[in-house]
Chains A and B, each alone.
Chain A
């Protein structure tokens, strides 16, 4: 079936505005992850959802960042009062279950905060 999809593919916003990023995981994948990748940097873990369990939010950099997921479907990552340092590619990945399973990445959302 289809892979992980993300929208929008690109987003330009003004400092202080809120943005919402969307991720559609592969159907049947119970685990969903959000990562941030700044230009020339590695992947920074943000948040992890596994089924109906409480999400692991340990990677969220500040309380301006939040994420939701309904069941085992779509997830949204919200950044409130965006700052220029939030500019990055936000990658979503899903995997069939929790431990040791391959993660499949979406194409990412490129966020630019002016």
Chain B
């Protein structure tokens, strides 16, 4: 079965400290992987994407993610959190196959404190 798991439903960090949001996927097919961010009362915005090129992907606002096939992971990181990073983050996977679809993780809410 194809699935994606975000390991933390809520993460709290202090401003200026590193951010790590974890995502694992389960599939026997090669995936495309995405991270989206949703600020309160807003739509979803693409942060970054992996589509079988470089395994370390850089996105907007200083975020990056590394695709690790052996660990089936695509964790999102940022060296230094900013207050404006407080939002909900979704890991999204598209699996190769005849039934193409986007599969969403359940989301991680990032809280940034002073």
Whether A and B are associated in the same complex: the answer reads no
A residues neighboring B (CB under 8 Å): none
Residues of B within 8 A of A (CB): none
